[in-house]
Amino acid sequence: MSAANAIDAEVRIYETLFSKEDPSKVEEGKDVLDNLNPNSLEVLSHAKVEPSLANAAVGTRLQFERLGYFCVDPDSKPASRCSTGTVALMTDTGAKVERKQGGKA
């Protein structure tokens, strides 16, 4: 699909809310809010999506290639579709981190 044939959409990508595994562990003089991840939400205001999504119903589940699974938001409008990430696809880097921490990838 070319950008010329795509429609604009807002896409919201979420990361972990906290920058530490245990956000309650804080340095002296700080509180849990100091452990918030400033990159926990990325909003792509002019993402390009397939024209068929222009009429996607609220709640429609989608997979954006190489990114993850998304859902059409209730605040979507036909002129501007809005999708929120529900599950990210694990990248090769993510798999390596998980293996290092003792998980399975």
CATH of the domain at 68: 2.40.240.10
Strand order in the sheet with 68-72: 41-49, 7-14, 81-88, 68-72, 61-64
What integer pLDDT is reported at residue 36 of this predicted model?
92
Q: Quick check: is 52 in a domain?
A: yes
Residue 67 or residue 13, greater confidence:
13
Q: Quick check: is 56 in a domain?
A: yes
This prediction's pTM: 0.66
93 vs 2, 21, 57, 58, 70, CA distance in Å? 29, 18, 34, 32, 21
Q: Quick check: is 66 in a domain?
A: yes
How many angstroms separate the CA atoms of 61 and 91, rounded? 21
- Domain membership of residue 81 as a residue range: 3-100
How many domains does the structure of the chain reveal?
1
* Residue 83, helix vs strand vs coil: strand
Statement: residue 38 has pLDDT above 80? yes
Q: Quick check: is 11 in a domain?
A: yes
Q: Quick check: is 75 in a domain?
A: yes
Q: Quick check: is 41 in a domain?
A: yes
What integer pLDDT is reported at residue 12 of this predicted model?
87
* Residue 37, helix vs strand vs coil: coil
What integer pLDDT is reported at residue 105 of this predicted model?
46
* Residue 53, helix vs strand vs coil: helix
Q: Quick check: is 105 in a domain?
A: no
Statement: residue 88 has pLDDT above 80? no
Q: Quick check: is 39 in a domain?
A: yes
